[in-house]
Copies of this chain bind each other. A is one copy, B any other.
Amino acid sequence: MKAFLECVPCVLNQIIKILRKKVKNQKKREKILLDVLRCFSTIQLSSVTPPELTHEGHSILRKHLGNKDFYKEEKEESNKEALALVPKLEKTIRQSKNKLHDALLLAIAGNIIDYGPEHKFDINKTLRLVLKKKLSGKQFNLFRKKIKGSKRLLYICDNAGEIVFDRLLIEYLIENYDLEVTVAVKSKPVLNDALIEDARFIKLDKFVGVIESGSVTAGTSLDKVNKEFKDAYDKADIVIAKGQGNFETLPHDKKIFFLLMVKCAHLALATNLKYGEIVLWSKS
């Protein structure tokens, strides 16, 4: 999926937020912003994905600010916040009448934890709202059928914090299906996306294999991943890909099920998905 015109101001707003937080000198902030504008003015928008545009902007930031993890504190914070919810989340799944459905719902609820786009969130309120939702019956049935017949699952994570919710879904899948699961996280800091250290912090690596995808942009472009990821992707019978970035970059292949909240009105318009809605989607 190619970048919209509106991706430019959206990414700039993200970058300005980082500048306000990480750069004290106003002249320096200005200089970096102008550098980003100069860079963007040379990019053919119809030839990049939204995450690639973000990546170009962040490359300029790194050139000026060094190779920092701009969201380190927020990621640690959201991992901790999400871990504190685990007993509650486990109870919710245990008491659910449709455990698979609700474990999927919760995994998407976790996707609302996102410091990239302009979303403040209240986890508890979000949980209450999300648990009232219903996934598309058609898509859910497709997923249930596919997961039953699969041996190998590749689970592609999105954000820190969110991966705690992913862990619960993965635990549920392992307990109830005969699956070999590989979990993929990013190789380098990009926005608030989960890294191997986040997976370790929430002890995801204790019961499934966790690999780095090689992707250094939001989402996962298959022409930029490492061999280990590519092998896991090729061998997988089913792939679960979290978040809008993956939806924007991965091929819309039948074996991939996307779990996301639609955080962008323009993406919604272009795909017939509903803005603000939680979605389980696979090309059927």
Contacts and interface: CB of A to CB of B under 8 A. Distances in A.
Contacts of A33: 5, 8, 45
B19 A13 contact: no
A41 B38 contact: yes
A37 interface: yes
A275 to B, nearest CB: 15
Contacts of A10: 9
A46 interface: yes
A46 to B, nearest CB: 6
A28 to B, nearest CB: 11
A37 B8 contact: yes
A104 to B, nearest CB: 34
A9 B13 contact: yes
Given A46-B26, A46-B27, A19 B5 contact: yes
Interface string A1-42: 000011011101100100110000011011001110110111
A30 B5 contact: yes
A43 B10 CA distance: 20
Interface string A30-63: 1001110110111111100000000000000000
B6 A16 contact: yes
Contacts of A38: 37-38, 41
A3 to B, nearest CB: 10
B34 A5 contact: no
Nearest 6 CB-CB pairs, A to B?
Answer: A9-B9, A37-B41, A38-B41, A9-B12, A5-B16, A9-B13
Interface of A: 5-6, 8-10, 12-13, 16, 19-20, 26-27, 29-30, 33-35, 37-38, 40-46
Given A8-B12, A9-B16, 10 more contacts: A5-B19, A5-B20, A5-B29, A8-B9, A9-B9, A30-B44, A30-B46, A35-B41, A37-B38, A38-B38
30 contacts: A5-B19, A5-B20, A5-B29, A5-B30, A5-B33, A6-B16, A8-B9, A8-B12, A8-B16, A8-B33, A9-B9, A9-B10, A9-B13, A9-B16, A12-B12, A26-B46, A30-B44, A30-B45, A30-B46, A33-B45, A34-B40, A34-B41, A34-B43, A34-B45, A35-B41, A37-B37, A37-B40, A37-B41, A38-B41, A41-B41
